[in-house]
């Protein structure tokens, strides 16, 4: 997979469940408008990966497939807020792998075949947001920034009965940068719980995300 192959790839993030643990960092006392307030969140994206490569191949990995084959994941946000301004970084890392054992027909001869595939994806969205609307329970901000996406793919094929001649490994990677604009905000539903919402659209190395 080359950078070119990734230009038309969209990472679809379809469901934000911000049942978040908020970890405030101590700041100097004083009115919030006059100081920076720092926080971190751990969250879960219901994520799918979909799009079309520059070669015309469809890419479609559902949320269910990601969960079934997930080896490791880290998802979180770091943010700094002062008055109406917020600086933020959303980080998502997924490590997904799958393997199959089958029989391949090679020159009329059945051969036991093992195929292992591993996909690693890293997405970072960096930006600044300005709060344009606020009530006692809800705030909404306009945002602008950039998103970085990197994918690494590893493929291992083992044709057991052919010995070392039947073992092959392939690796490739690529990355894209996109500029984004959008909205972010949250609504409190109790003293300890809130719903976070986020929407952006971007382009750059990708046609559209």
Reduced DSSP (H G I as helix, E B as strand, rest coil) percent helix, strand, coil of the chain, to 5: 10, 70, 20
pLDDT computed for residue 15 by the predictor: 33
For the question of whether the overall pTM of this predicted structure is more than 0.85, the answer is no
Phi then psi dihedrals of residue 161, to 5 deg: -75, -10
The torsion defined by the Cα of 118, 76, 10 and 169, in degrees rounded to 10, comes to: -10
Q: So what's the pLDDT on residue 67?
A: 79
Q: Per-residue pLDDT for 23 more than 60? A: no
Question: What's the whole-number average pLDDT of the chain?
Answer: 78
Which pLDDT does position 166 carry in this prediction? 67
Q: Give the pLDDT score at 21.
A: 35
Give me the mean pLDDT over the 49-74 stretch: 75
- DSSP sequence for 85-154: EEEEEEEEEEEEEEEEEEEEEETTEEEEEEEEEEEEEEEEEEEEEEEEEE-SSEEEEEEEEEEEEEEEEE
Q: Which of 114, 44, 42 lies closest to 78, judged by CA?
A: 42
Q: Residue 42: what pLDDT? A: 87
Task: For residue range 113-154, list pLDDT tens digits in order.
Answer: 888 888 898 999 999 999 999 999 999 999 999 999 998 989
Tokens (6 digits) for 68: 């079934």
Q: Would you place residue 32 in the very low, low, confident or very high pLDDT band (cuts 50, 70, 90)?
A: low
């Amino acid at each position: 997979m080359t950078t070119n192959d990734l230009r038309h790839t969209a990472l679809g993030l379809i469901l934000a469940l911000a049942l978040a643990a908020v970890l405030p960092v101590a700041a100097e006392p004083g009115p919030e408008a006059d100081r920076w307030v720092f926080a971190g969140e751990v969250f879960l994206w219901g994520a799918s990966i979909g799009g079309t490569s520059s070669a015309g191949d469809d890419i479609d990995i559902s949320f269910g497939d990601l969960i079934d084959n997930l080896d490791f994941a880290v998802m979180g946000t770091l943010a700094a807020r002062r008055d109406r301004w917020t600086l933020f970084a959303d980080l998502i890392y997924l490590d997904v792998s799958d393997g199959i054992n089958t029989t391949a027909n090679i020159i009329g001869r059945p051969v036991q075949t093992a195929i292992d595939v591993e996909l690693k994806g890293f997405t970072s969205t960096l930006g600044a947001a300005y709060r344009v609307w606020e009530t006692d329970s809800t705030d909404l901000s306009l945002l602008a920034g950039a998103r970085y996406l990197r994918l690494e793919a590893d493929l291992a094929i083992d044709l057991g009965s052919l010995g070392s001649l039947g073992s092959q490994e392939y690796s490739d990677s690529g990355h894209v940068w996109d500029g984004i604009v959008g909205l972010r905000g949250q609504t409190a539903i109790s003293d300890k719980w809130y719903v976070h919402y986020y929407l952006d659209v971007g382009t750059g190395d990708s046609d559209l995300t």
